[in-house]
Amino acid sequence: MTHRTPTVVFVYGTLLGGMILSEALAGATFLGHGRAGGVLYDLGPFPGLGPGTGAVYGELHAVDRARLARLDRIEGFDPRDLAGSLYLRRPVDVRPLDGGPKIEAHSYFYRDRSRLTRPIPCGDYRRYRLEQADGPQWYIAYGSNMSSARLRERLVRGAVRAVETGYLEGYALRFNKRAHDGGVYANLAYRGAGHRCPFAAYLLSPDDIRLLDAYEGEPGHYVRLGLPFPKADGRIGLGHVYVAAPERVIPDRTPDPDYLGHLLTGYAEHGFDPGALPGATLP
């Protein structure tokens, strides 16, 4: 029996988790989040990837031959008719956001460059869709801002419209984001089955979310991305989350006690077991 090596694909638009075509990747192996070189463009109902020196954020999935053929059909790619294809599937180097080595993946580049006129500056389609919506938006906290007292100190009016809590399945809390003083801060990394990361999602104004960018050093220290999260009513929400830029990821270390104290406060506030917090020292 012949076993074929799965193909790793980098998706950045409507195939992302929480987007309208995400079911096309059901059954594929999710490998985590990554960053590729290029420029992301708004093409109306969907985005397109074009060449350039920017950064594009997306997901890595390992797919079998049948699923790859399905993705080709969805993207209008025909290897026998490149001139007639909507997208062209090409190799692309992707930097995993967990700081690991580059991965060669396949991604879909929009063929007609004349239509690539509206760049998406943040390079993240889910974040871009969130920012286009009117009204308050969800912010997913997994680090020190899980403490509502700490979060309110950083907001314009301290206004939190609502809060949802739960677990991000497959994700783990890490203390591997390099700080200015040589210490470490919290980071979110995908680790697969058996891992789950507590979170508190706060409903904030767009102005307050932009204000958090300054505190998080976005994008040089943390990158703000869109991420789906489970809501208490069983639906999937979409919120903003800060993940360490790959260049800032270092080996895990024990955080400063004061910083860890904010997480302990947040865990206790929202009913999570503080003893499950990595590096926690309890009395």
Given this model, what pLDDT does residue 33 score?
Answer: 98
Q: Is the pLDDT of residue 282 over 70?
A: no
Nearest by Cα to 229 from 268, 188, 265, 262:
188
- Give the pairing type, strands 103-110 and 137-141: unpaired
List, in order, residues 6 or more apart from 214 with CB less than 8 Å away: none
Domain presence at residue 1: no
Q: Are residues 151 and 245 in the same domain?
A: yes
- Please tell me which residue, 99 or 28, carries the higher pLDDT value: 28
Q: Are residues 109 and 201 in the same domain?
A: no
Q: Are residues 94 and 209 in the same domain?
A: no
Mean local confidence (pLDDT), 246-256 = 94
Does residue 189 contact residue 172 with C-beta atoms inside 8 Å?
yes
Q: Are residues 256 and 164 in the same domain?
A: yes
How many independent structural domains does the chain possess? 2
Q: Are residues 14 and 94 in the same domain?
A: yes
State the pLDDT confidence band at 278, using cuts at 50, 70 and 90.
confident
Mean local confidence (pLDDT), 252-275 = 94
Given this model, what pLDDT does residue 281 score?
Answer: 46
State the pLDDT confidence band at 280, using cuts at 50, 70 and 90.
low
With a pLDDT cut of 90, the percent of the chain lying above it is 90
Domain presence at residue 35: yes
Domain presence at residue 59: yes
Given this model, what pLDDT does residue 180 score?
Answer: 83
pLDDT in tens, 176-225: 999 988 899 999 999 999 999 999 999 999 999 999 999 999 999 999 99
* Enclosing H/E stretch for 139: strand 137-141
Given this model, what pLDDT does residue 24 score?
Answer: 97
Q: Are residues 98 and 198 in the same domain?
A: no
State the pLDDT confidence band at 100, using cuts at 50, 70 and 90.
confident
Range of the domain at 250: 133-273
Q: Are residues 111 and 23 in the same domain?
A: yes
Distances (CA, A) of 147 to 201, 261, 269: 11, 10, 7
Given this model, what pLDDT does residue 9 score?
Answer: 98
Domain presence at residue 66: yes
Given this model, what pLDDT does residue 1 score?
Answer: 41
pLDDT in tens, 23-81: 999 999 999 999 999 999 999 999 999 999 999 999 999 999 999 999 999 999 999 99
- Give the pairing type, strands 236-244 and 137-141: parallel
Q: Are residues 198 and 172 in the same domain?
A: yes
User: What CATH number does the domain containing 36 carry?
Assistant: 3.10.490.10
Q: Are residues 216 and 96 in the same domain?
A: no
Q: Is the pLDDT of residue 277 over 90?
A: no
Whole-structure pTM over 0.85, yes or no?
yes
Q: Is the pLDDT of residue 283 over 70?
A: no
Domain presence at residue 121: no
Given this model, what pLDDT does residue 12 score?
Answer: 98
Burial class (CB within 10 angstroms; exposed 0-12, middle 13-18, buried 19+) of 264: buried
Q: Are residues 49 and 90 in the same domain?
A: yes
Q: Are residues 96 and 166 in the same domain?
A: no
Q: Is the pLDDT of residue 2 over 70?
A: no
pLDDT in tens, 131-164: 998 899 999 999 999 999 999 999 977 789 999 9
Q: Are residues 111 and 147 in the same domain?
A: no
